[in-house]
Amino acid sequence: MSNPLDIPEITAKVFKYLDTKDLVNACYVNKIWRLEAGRIIYQNRNEIIYNLLRPFLNAFRLSYGMIVEETMAMRFNLAMRKFTTFRKTFNLDARIELLAIRDILRREHKKFRNRHKKLIKKVNKCNYAMERLAMDSEEYRQMDDLCWKRTVRAGRAEENRFYTYRKLVDFEYFLSILEDIILDKNEINAINSKVENLREEEFERF
């Protein structure tokens, strides 16, 4: 009787719940597992590459590209070697994959930035409506409660806007100092401006 896990359709359903490390181990079991695990790893390549680099990106920007702490520098070099191995295994173009990750981060930030803008408009609209109501009225109390809820949601959206922006700038700065990734000098100058603006925002926040 054949093993159900050797049936590609069943293997695909099971493997989608495995993490990257387990998928890599599955590649060594047999051909069916190797093909399915490799397919999932390839589909998740943007996330895998980003997660390799993510622990170092913020420190990289804050230190202007010079990670001086020895242990972190060793871990970063190891991550870069893993990235190179992963890229060669799947015959990936480094520039294409890294710019694809940048575009994903840009879309993520844009989503939260736009959500924050919409919520701020709702808060302002709510506050404007309150000004036209008597403070001792039930309508005023209901509107005040609505304004508070919208303000809380706007605050959360602002936090998401900031953290997705920081992720984006961290990654863009990393790309700007790699060779042959960002070739437009104007774009590099724009990234450097973002870095300085983010530093000011971080100083105000923290």
Per-residue buried b or exposed e for 123-148, using 16+ beta carbons within 10 Å of the residue's own CB: beebeeebeeeeeeeeebeebeeebe
> Which residues fall within 8 angstroms of residue 171, CB to CB, at 6 or more apart?
50, 53, 57, 101, 102, 105
Instruction: Give the chain's domains with CATH numbers.
Output: 1-43 (1.20.1280), 94-205 (no CATH)
**From 5-19, 61-75, 145-159, the region with the lowest mean pLDDT:** 5-19
Single-letter residue type at 183: L
Integer Cα distance of 176 and 202 in angstroms: 21
Compute the Cα dihedral for 67, 159, 203, 101 and give only its sign.
positive
174 and 62 Cβ atoms separated by less than 8 Å: no
pLDDT: which is higher, 117 or 133:
117
Query: Is residue 78 predicted with pLDDT exceeding 90?
Result: yes
Q: What is the pLDDT of residue 6?
A: 62
Question: With helix as H, strand as E and coil as C, how does 120-178 read?
Answer: HHHHHHHHHHHCCCCCCCHHHHHHHHHHHHHHHHHHHHHHHHHHHHHHHHHHHHHHHCC
pLDDT (tens digit per residue) in 146-191: 999 999 999 999 999 999 999 999 999 999 988 888 878 899 999 9
pLDDT: which is higher, 36 or 175:
175
| Nearest residue to 48 (alpha-carbon basis) of 112, 92, 11 | 92
pLDDT: which is higher, 166 or 64:
166
Q: What is the pLDDT of residue 43?
A: 87
Integer Cα distance of 100 and 94 in angstroms: 10
- Residue 7: pLDDT band (50, 70, 90) is low
Q: What are phi and psi of 44, to 5 degrees?
A: -95, 20
Q: Residue length, the chain?
A: 206
pTM over 0.75: yes
Integer Cα distance of 44 and 95 in angstroms: 17
Q: What is the pLDDT of residue 153?
A: 94
Query: Is residue 8 predicted with pLDDT exceeding 80?
Result: no
Query: Is residue 69 predicted with pLDDT exceeding 90?
Result: no
Q: Which pair of tokens denotes residue 143? A: 């509107």
- Residue 1: pLDDT band (50, 70, 90) is very low
Q: What is the pLDDT of residue 107?
A: 97
User: What is the rounded average pLDDT for all residues in the chain?
Assistant: 88
- Residue 72: pLDDT band (50, 70, 90) is confident
**What percentage of the chain carries pLDDT values higher than 70?**
96
138 and 146 Cβ atoms separated by less than 8 Å: no
- Residue 18: pLDDT band (50, 70, 90) is confident
Integer Cα distance of 187 and 150 in angstroms: 36
Integer Cα distance of 158 and 136 in angstroms: 32
CB-based burial label for 66 (10 Å; 0-12, 13-18, 19+): exposed
Integer Cα distance of 12 and 7 in angstroms: 9
